[in-house]
Amino acid sequence: MNKITHVLRDQKLGSVLGMLVLVVLWSTPTLGLLVTSLRPSSVAEISPWWEALFNPLSTVWTLDAYQNSLDSGMLASLINTIAVTVPATILPLMIAANAAYAFTFLNFKGKEFFFAMLVALMVIPLQSSLIPVLRGMVAFQKAFHIPLTGTYASAWVVHSAFAMPLAIYIFRNYMMTLPKELIEAARVDGASNYQIFWQLILPMSVPALASFAIFQFLWVWNDYLIAFVFVGEQKAVMTYRLLRLLGQYGQGWRDVAAGSFISLIIPLLVFFGLQRYFVRGLLAGSVKG
């Protein structure tokens, strides 16, 4: 017994050291940008960031870069990002939960086939359908004079569609674990499917809905491509603005750094606050790209 604890103790020390090395490696690049964003512009470009870190007391720390960044459009972009992200999280949630109900509890022809198709669609890259969707929207605009591109709504629709396969898959997997007897009992009592879904299944599926919501929220918040194609410059989201900023190095690293961290604050809060649900979602297979 003594021998085992001895071995385990050695193992523990080695593991702690190994993990420390990994964590330092993993955090350093982020730390560098964070430190830079907090320095005055006069020194940020001429002295390396680690000098500030080694002499934290003799360094001037300032939030100027954040103020600058917010004033020069990042605040507007933050609002645009929220306006794109919140509906693009809630809409697919509702639509997919409805569809998952049909796939789990109702019978129709070709159910298994359509579900297999959905799983296969999870792999298809977004790029494969963006150009036709974009041209379709432009043609629609010309024909009916209703603006679609450059609005939040077009991004909601496209994000919702791309979320479908994964969301339906996760929700169906979860709904299959719910007790069937409960639904049967409700049917015997004369409840319609509509009532069963909204009053019974949806409330019981909250854990699955929550983990998918976090996942979709982070995905849409961090997306560049769909925002670039469908929302574009008029209502530039943060990833869009950040990429433009990164393209012009003349701006200096400090402004890019502050912009990056403004775009990171909300996802990081969501992430650390709800990490448990996020992990649960990951384990249920929520990964897309």
Span 48-67, contacts to another protein by CB under 8 A: 48-50
**Amino acid, single-letter form, for residue 183:** I
Among 38, 65, 74, 158, binds another protein (CB under 8 A): 158
Span 69-98, contacts to another protein by CB under 8 A: 76, 79-80, 82-83, 86-87, 90-91, 94-96, 98
The answer to whether 208 contacts another protein (rule: CB under 8 A) is no
CA distance 30 to 25: 10
CA distance 202 to 208: 10
- The per-residue DSSP string of 167-178 comes to HHHHHHHHHTTS
Among 36, 59, 69, 211, binds another protein (CB under 8 A): 36
Among 6, 40, 47, 234, binds another protein (CB under 8 A): 47
Size of the site for another protein (CB under 8 A): 113
Q: How far is the CB of 63 from another protein (least distance, A)?
A: 18
Cβ proximity to another protein, 121 vs 204, nearer residue: 121
Among 136, 138, 139, 146, binds another protein (CB under 8 A): 136
Q: Are 78 and 209 in contact, with CB atoms under 8 Å apart?
A: no
Q: How far is the CB of 20 from another protein (least distance, A)?
A: 8
CA distance 270 to 141: 36
**Amino acid, single-letter form, for residue 7:** V
The answer to whether 32 contacts another protein (rule: CB under 8 A) is yes
The answer to whether 230 contacts another protein (rule: CB under 8 A) is no
The C-alpha R_g of the chain, in whole angstroms, comes to: 24
Among 41, 68, 72, 102, binds another protein (CB under 8 A): 102
Q: How far is the CB of 202 from another protein (least distance, A)?
A: 11
Cβ-based burial of 90 (10 A; exposed 0-12, middle 13-18, buried ≥19) = middle
Span 163-202, contacts to another protein by CB under 8 A: 164-165, 168-169, 173, 177, 192-194, 197
- The per-residue DSSP string of 203-248 comes to HHTHHHHHHHHHHHHHHHHH--HHIIIIITTTT--HHHHHHHHHH-
Span 268-287, contacts to another protein by CB under 8 A: 268, 270-272, 275, 278-279, 282-285, 287
Angle between helices 253-273 and 2-37 (to 10 degrees): 140
The three-class DSSP label of residue 289 is coil
The answer to whether 41 contacts another protein (rule: CB under 8 A) is no
The answer to whether 120 contacts another protein (rule: CB under 8 A) is yes
What residues contact 33, with CB distance under 8 A and at least 6 apart? 253, 257, 260, 261
The three-class DSSP label of residue 255 is helix
Cβ proximity to another protein, 64 vs 262, nearer residue: 262
Select from 60-68, 139-147, 204-212, 257-265 the region that touches another protein (CB under 8 A).
257-265
CA distance 63 to 67: 6
Among 70, 130, 186, 204, binds another protein (CB under 8 A): 130
Among 53, 63, 106, 206, binds another protein (CB under 8 A): 106
Q: How far is the CB of 142 from another protein (least distance, A)?
A: 16
